[in-house]
Structure 1
Protein backbone atom coordinates (compact mmCIF):
# COMPACT_ATOMS: atom_id res chain seq x y z
CA UNK A 1 0.00 0.00 0.00
CA UNK A 2 2.98 2.32 -0.43
CA UNK A 3 1.80 5.82 -1.32
CA UNK A 4 3.16 8.50 -3.63
CA UNK A 5 3.22 11.85 -1.89
CA UNK A 6 2.83 15.29 -3.45
CA UNK A 7 5.69 17.70 -2.77
CA UNK A 8 3.45 20.73 -2.12
CA UNK A 9 1.47 19.35 0.84
CA UNK A 10 2.75 17.94 4.15
CA UNK A 11 2.88 14.14 4.19
CA UNK A 12 0.91 13.88 7.42
CA UNK A 13 -1.91 15.95 5.88
CA UNK A 14 -1.95 13.74 2.79
CA UNK A 15 -2.25 10.68 5.03
CA UNK A 16 -5.10 12.28 6.99
CA UNK A 17 -6.88 13.03 3.70
CA UNK A 18 -6.31 9.45 2.54
CA UNK A 19 -7.79 7.96 5.70
CA UNK A 20 -10.73 10.38 5.62
CA UNK A 21 -11.29 9.39 1.98
CA UNK A 22 -11.32 5.72 2.98
CA UNK A 23 -13.94 6.49 5.66
CA UNK A 24 -16.12 8.53 3.30
CA UNK A 25 -15.95 5.84 0.59
CA UNK A 26 -16.75 3.14 3.12
CA UNK A 27 -13.42 1.36 2.71
CA UNK A 28 -13.07 1.93 6.47
CA UNK A 29 -16.30 1.31 8.33
CA UNK A 30 -17.55 2.96 11.51
CA UNK A 31 -16.00 1.16 14.47
CA UNK A 32 -13.33 -0.55 12.36
CA UNK A 33 -9.89 -0.99 13.90
CA UNK A 34 -7.02 0.81 12.21
CA UNK A 35 -3.62 -0.82 11.83
CA UNK A 36 -1.12 0.02 14.56
CA UNK A 37 0.94 3.17 14.06
CA UNK A 38 3.99 1.09 13.23
CA UNK A 39 2.13 -1.21 10.81
CA UNK A 40 0.56 1.70 8.95
CA UNK A 41 3.89 3.59 8.82
CA UNK A 42 5.65 0.60 7.27
CA UNK A 43 2.77 -0.01 4.84
CA UNK A 44 2.83 3.55 3.46
CA UNK A 45 6.58 4.09 3.80
CA UNK A 46 6.72 6.88 6.38
CA UNK A 47 8.33 7.41 9.77
CA UNK A 48 6.33 6.09 12.74
CA UNK A 49 6.40 9.59 14.28
CA UNK A 50 4.59 10.94 11.20
CA UNK A 51 1.95 8.26 11.51
CA UNK A 52 1.58 8.98 15.24
CA UNK A 53 0.86 12.60 14.36
CA UNK A 54 -1.76 11.47 11.82
CA UNK A 55 -3.53 9.33 14.41
CA UNK A 56 -3.38 12.15 16.98
CA UNK A 57 -4.88 14.65 14.51
CA UNK A 58 -7.64 12.23 13.50
CA UNK A 59 -8.53 11.72 17.15
CA UNK A 60 -8.60 15.48 17.79
CA UNK A 61 -10.93 15.82 14.80
CA UNK A 62 -13.17 13.15 16.42
CA UNK A 63 -12.76 10.89 13.39
CA UNK A 64 -11.04 8.14 15.33
CA UNK A 65 -10.86 7.11 18.95
CA UNK A 66 -8.13 5.33 20.87
CA UNK A 67 -9.09 2.52 23.18
CA UNK A 68 -6.43 1.84 25.77
CA UNK A 69 -4.71 -1.45 25.07
CA UNK A 70 -6.76 -2.08 21.92
CA UNK A 71 -5.65 0.54 19.40
CA UNK A 72 -7.31 3.16 17.23
CA UNK A 73 -10.77 2.77 15.75
CA UNK A 74 -12.90 4.74 13.30
CA UNK A 75 -15.57 6.62 15.22
CA UNK A 76 -18.93 4.92 15.52
CA UNK A 77 -20.60 8.34 15.51
CA UNK A 78 -22.51 8.23 12.20
CA UNK A 79 -23.38 11.93 12.52
CA UNK A 80 -19.67 12.81 12.66
CA UNK A 81 -19.01 10.72 9.55
CA UNK A 82 -21.85 12.48 7.74
CA UNK A 83 -20.47 15.87 8.86
CA UNK A 84 -17.11 14.76 7.49
CA UNK A 85 -18.69 13.93 4.12
CA UNK A 86 -20.31 17.37 4.00
CA UNK A 87 -17.05 19.12 5.00
CA UNK A 88 -15.14 17.32 2.27
CA UNK A 89 -17.84 18.09 -0.28
CA UNK A 90 -17.66 21.78 0.63
CA UNK A 91 -13.86 21.83 0.41
CA UNK A 92 -13.92 20.18 -3.01
CA UNK A 93 -16.55 22.55 -4.35
CA UNK A 94 -14.74 25.63 -3.02
CA UNK A 95 -11.45 24.46 -4.53
CA UNK A 96 -13.17 23.71 -7.84
CA UNK A 97 -14.82 27.15 -7.95
CA UNK A 98 -11.54 28.92 -7.15
CA UNK A 99 -9.73 27.02 -9.89
CA UNK A 100 -12.50 27.62 -12.42
CA UNK A 101 -12.67 31.34 -11.67
CA UNK A 102 -8.88 31.64 -11.82
CA UNK A 103 -9.07 30.34 -15.38
CA UNK A 104 -11.79 32.85 -16.31
CA UNK A 105 -14.76 30.51 -16.45
CA UNK A 106 -18.04 31.48 -14.81
CA UNK A 107 -19.80 29.23 -12.34
CA UNK A 108 -22.86 29.10 -14.64
CA UNK A 109 -20.69 28.12 -17.57
CA UNK A 110 -19.25 25.20 -15.60
CA UNK A 111 -22.65 24.12 -14.21
CA UNK A 112 -24.02 24.02 -17.77
CA UNK A 113 -21.02 22.04 -18.95
CA UNK A 114 -21.28 19.56 -16.09
CA UNK A 115 -25.00 19.06 -16.64
CA UNK A 116 -24.34 18.27 -20.32
CA UNK A 117 -21.69 15.71 -19.40
CA UNK A 118 -24.18 13.75 -17.32
CA UNK A 119 -23.11 11.51 -14.49
CA UNK A 120 -24.67 10.59 -11.18
CA UNK A 121 -27.41 12.83 -9.89
CA UNK A 122 -26.98 11.76 -6.26
Structure 2
Protein backbone atom coordinates (compact mmCIF):
# COMPACT_ATOMS: atom_id res chain seq x y z
CA UNK A 1 0.00 0.00 0.00
CA UNK A 2 1.46 3.34 -1.07
CA UNK A 3 0.68 6.56 0.81
CA UNK A 4 2.07 9.95 -0.16
CA UNK A 5 1.15 13.46 -1.13
CA UNK A 6 -0.11 14.46 -4.55
CA UNK A 7 2.58 14.09 -7.23
CA UNK A 8 5.00 12.31 -4.90
CA UNK A 9 5.46 9.53 -7.46
CA UNK A 10 3.23 6.73 -6.17
CA UNK A 11 1.57 5.91 -9.50
CA UNK A 12 4.85 6.19 -11.42
CA UNK A 13 6.51 3.93 -8.85
CA UNK A 14 3.72 1.38 -9.25
CA UNK A 15 4.22 1.45 -13.03
CA UNK A 16 7.99 1.00 -12.58
CA UNK A 17 7.52 -1.94 -10.18
CA UNK A 18 5.25 -3.67 -12.71
CA UNK A 19 7.59 -2.90 -15.63
CA UNK A 20 4.98 -0.74 -17.35
CA UNK A 21 5.49 2.34 -19.49
CA UNK A 22 5.78 5.42 -17.26
CA UNK A 23 2.77 7.59 -18.01
CA UNK A 24 1.76 10.37 -15.63
CA UNK A 25 -1.83 10.38 -14.51
CA UNK A 26 -3.54 11.79 -11.46
CA UNK A 27 -4.90 9.15 -9.09
CA UNK A 28 -8.51 10.12 -8.37
CA UNK A 29 -9.51 7.17 -6.18
CA UNK A 30 -7.88 4.18 -4.57
CA UNK A 31 -6.41 2.09 -7.38
CA UNK A 32 -6.03 -1.60 -6.66
CA UNK A 33 -3.67 -3.73 -8.72
CA UNK A 34 -2.45 -7.27 -8.31
CA UNK A 35 -0.30 -6.62 -5.22
CA UNK A 36 -0.48 -2.88 -4.64
CA UNK A 37 -2.86 -0.18 -3.54
CA UNK A 38 -2.12 3.29 -4.91
CA UNK A 39 -3.88 5.87 -2.74
CA UNK A 40 -4.74 9.43 -3.81
CA UNK A 41 -2.47 12.12 -2.39
CA UNK A 42 -5.45 13.80 -0.80
CA UNK A 43 -5.71 10.87 1.64
CA UNK A 44 -2.53 11.98 3.45
CA UNK A 45 -3.07 15.68 2.84
CA UNK A 46 -6.47 15.66 4.59
CA UNK A 47 -6.62 13.80 7.89
CA UNK A 48 -10.36 13.21 7.45
CA UNK A 49 -9.30 10.41 5.08
CA UNK A 50 -7.04 8.68 7.63
CA UNK A 51 -9.83 6.23 8.47
CA UNK A 52 -9.92 5.12 4.81
CA UNK A 53 -6.16 4.51 4.95
CA UNK A 54 -6.46 2.51 8.18
CA UNK A 55 -9.35 0.42 6.89
CA UNK A 56 -7.65 -0.33 3.57
CA UNK A 57 -4.34 -1.24 5.17
CA UNK A 58 -5.63 -4.53 6.59
CA UNK A 59 -5.41 -6.15 3.16
CA UNK A 60 -1.70 -5.34 2.67
CA UNK A 61 1.50 -6.64 4.23
CA UNK A 62 3.55 -3.43 4.04
CA UNK A 63 2.73 0.26 4.21
CA UNK A 64 4.93 2.36 1.91
CA UNK A 65 5.27 6.03 2.84
CA UNK A 66 6.33 7.88 -0.31
CA UNK A 67 8.10 11.25 -0.26
CA UNK A 68 9.36 13.27 -3.23
CA UNK A 69 12.84 14.50 -2.25
CA UNK A 70 12.43 17.65 -4.36
CA UNK A 71 9.73 18.95 -2.04
CA UNK A 72 10.14 20.67 1.30
CA UNK A 73 6.61 19.95 2.49
CA UNK A 74 5.73 17.20 4.93
CA UNK A 75 2.27 15.73 5.40
CA UNK A 76 3.33 12.89 7.72
CA UNK A 77 2.81 13.62 11.41
CA UNK A 78 5.32 12.14 13.86
CA UNK A 79 4.61 8.45 14.58
CA UNK A 80 2.04 8.36 11.75
CA UNK A 81 2.61 4.63 11.17
CA UNK A 82 1.43 3.83 14.71
CA UNK A 83 -2.13 3.62 13.38
CA UNK A 84 -1.23 0.66 11.17
CA UNK A 85 -0.74 -2.91 12.31
CA UNK A 86 1.77 -3.46 9.52
CA UNK A 87 5.45 -2.73 8.97
CA UNK A 88 6.08 0.62 7.32
CA UNK A 89 8.84 1.47 4.89
CA UNK A 90 9.89 4.84 3.53
CA UNK A 91 10.31 5.35 -0.20
CA UNK A 92 12.19 8.45 -1.29
CA UNK A 93 11.32 9.21 -4.91
CA UNK A 94 12.79 11.39 -7.66
CA UNK A 95 16.38 10.98 -6.44
CA UNK A 96 17.55 11.64 -10.01
CA UNK A 97 16.08 15.16 -9.96
CA UNK A 98 18.11 18.32 -9.49
CA UNK A 99 17.60 20.03 -6.16
CA UNK A 100 16.53 16.94 -4.28
CA UNK A 101 17.14 16.75 -0.52
CA UNK A 102 17.29 13.05 0.33
CA UNK A 103 18.43 13.81 3.90
CA UNK A 104 15.24 15.82 4.54
CA UNK A 105 13.11 12.97 3.16
CA UNK A 106 14.94 10.45 5.37
CA UNK A 107 14.34 12.61 8.42
CA UNK A 108 10.60 13.01 7.95
CA UNK A 109 10.02 9.38 6.95
CA UNK A 110 11.89 8.11 10.01
CA UNK A 111 9.94 10.52 12.25
CA UNK A 112 6.70 9.20 10.73
CA UNK A 113 7.72 5.65 11.71
CA UNK A 114 9.31 4.15 8.60
CA UNK A 115 12.09 1.80 9.70
CA UNK A 116 13.51 0.74 6.33
CA UNK A 117 14.18 3.36 3.66
CA UNK A 118 14.55 3.03 -0.11
CA UNK A 119 15.86 5.69 -2.47
CA UNK A 120 14.18 5.38 -5.87
CA UNK A 121 14.22 6.81 -9.35
CA UNK A 122 11.34 5.36 -11.33
CA UNK A 123 12.81 7.01 -14.45
CA UNK A 124 16.35 5.58 -14.27
CA UNK A 125 15.38 2.44 -12.33
CA UNK A 126 17.82 3.17 -9.50
CA UNK A 127 16.68 1.45 -6.30
CA UNK A 128 13.81 -0.44 -7.96
CA UNK A 129 15.54 -3.85 -7.72
CA UNK A 130 16.20 -3.40 -4.00
CA UNK A 131 12.58 -2.44 -3.35
CA UNK A 132 11.32 -5.38 -5.42
CA UNK A 133 13.58 -7.74 -3.47
CA UNK A 134 12.24 -6.41 -0.17
CA UNK A 135 8.64 -6.76 -1.35
CA UNK A 136 9.24 -10.18 -2.88
CA UNK A 137 8.15 -8.99 -6.32
CA UNK A 138 9.61 -10.93 -9.23
CA UNK A 139 11.83 -8.88 -11.55
TM superposition score normalised by structure 2: 0.26
Higher strand share: 2
TM superposition score normalised by structure 1: 0.28
Rg: which structure is higher? 1
Higher helix share: 1
